[in-house]
Amino acid sequence: MATGKSRSVSLADDLGVAAASEVAEGQPASVSGTAVSATATPVLRSGLSHWDQGLNGELASAQQTLDFLDQSASQLQSLKSELSAKLAGQQTRDNQLDAKLRQFSTTWDQRQTRSGGSLSSQLAYSSPAPAVQRFNIRGLNIKNLQSGGKETLSFSVGGAGQSLRSVNIDPGLSADEIVQRFDQALAPANIRVSADDSGALVFSTGEADWASLRDTLSIKGDGIRFPAGQLNRVRPDAEPAAIQPAGWQISDVESMRQTLSQVVQALNRLMHAREAVSRALAQANSRVDRAAPSDDAATLSNLANSFAASTSQPDYTSFSSITAALLGISRDRVLSLLSLR
């Protein structure tokens, strides 16, 4: 997941996790039960690095996303070469083109899990906040909301039993006021609202919440813009994914040409996404560089407790924190510590 050039935060630069726990408890650090003298000067000791669970998660997320983008680009490049060879009339193995297309489609379908939930279907990277899915709702645009009379729109998300979120539409509201009212009303339901250049309201929610929202979103009004009475199911329109291999065809020469063009575009989008993730990783590494080591007992105790808390749950956040913390602890470092016995 991490490359040789990648850097990460380590919980204990030289003493390791076990020694960090002993220091946090006010005991001399030991190796295999043998105490290390407080006056000793271990060759590798430089103190305990700054521990930041969020920063560790950002590092691991960026590295994981880069791995996904690199593998995707490699598969697309291979698909591009196969398409070019086929269109040039070169001999290729039977079903090779179809196999490469299926391979990339499978990888793309795993985008959310392979990127740790940090890369959206539009290839927008977001960490530590999760990737979002943007969508529109027909009829909800600035022009429509500024015309007509006063109306209260009530939203239901999540099905029966969920509290309604209401937005009051009054005559004379500015575009910014309309957006603000929708955003404030729907924020508790994990939905944020903005407007695009055309005046359409753009809604966004976490990708993990999208499927539930898509299948349960209902609205009722006062009979002006939406029907009154019972809640009415609406079908939100999701923003299309940046890459859509499910629609790529290779049945004839013309479809292969179109697919080749789409593959080239997809490669460019992956390249831009990789640049954005690389910048985020560089910024996180810069924060690591600015985090000064500390030997203060209270600080060490807090760091050890923070590490223990972050690893207490068997989930991705815990895994990413441990991975980023241990990347800097090498075999040579452990052997050097053991030699102090």
- SS3 sequence, 56-74? HHHHHHHHHHHHHHHHHHH
**Claim to verify: residue 66 and residue 122 sit in the same structural domain:** yes
Buried/exposed code over 131-159 (b: 16+ C-beta within 10 A; e: otherwise): bbbbbbbeebbbebbbeeeebbbbbbbbe
Whether residue 8 lies inside any domain: the answer is no
> Which amino acid is it at 163?
S
Last residue of a domain, one of 219, 235, 251: 235
List phi, psi (to 5°) of 127.
Answer: -155, 135
Q: Tokens 């966004």 map to which residue?
A: 204
**Claim to verify: residue 117 and residue 248 sit in the same structural domain:** yes
**Claim to verify: residue 251 and residue 119 sit in the same structural domain:** yes
Evaluate if pTM is beyond 0.75: no
In sequence order, what DSSP letters do the residues of 283-332 get, joined into one string?
A: HHHHHHHH---B--HHHHHHHHHHHHHHTSS-SHHHHHHHHHHHTT--HH
Domains in the chain, number = 2
**Claim to verify: residue 162 and residue 231 sit in the same structural domain:** yes
pLDDT in tens, the chain (341 residues): 444 444 443 333 433 444 444 434 444 444 344 444 444 444 444 444 455 556 777 888 899 999 999 999 999 999 999 999 999 998 888 799 999 999 999 999 999 999 999 999 999 999 888 999 999 999 999 999 999 899 999 999 988 777 899 999 999 999 999 999 999 999 999 999 999 999 999 999 999 999 999 999 999 999 999 999 999 999 999 999 999 999 999 999 999 999 999 999 999 999 999 999 999 998 888 877 666 555 566 665 666 676 666 666 666 555 555 555 555 566 776 676 667 65
Whether residue 17 lies inside any domain: the answer is no
Domain extent at residue 267: 62-128+242-277
Whether residue 295 lies inside any domain: the answer is no
Query: Where would I find the H helices in the chain?
Result: 16-24, 53-87, 96-109, 111-114, 142-146, 175-186, 207-216, 253-290, 297-310, 316-326, 331-338
Whether residue 13 lies inside any domain: the answer is no
**Claim to verify: residue 160 and residue 218 sit in the same structural domain:** yes
Whether residue 190 lies inside any domain: the answer is yes
Which residues 6+ apart lie within 8 Å of 14 measured at CB?
42, 44, 45, 46, 47, 333, 337
In terms of Cα–Cα distance, which of 131, 185, 199, 135 is closest to 156?
185
**Claim to verify: residue 149 and residue 215 sit in the same structural domain:** yes
Last residue of a domain, one of 235, 262, 291: 235
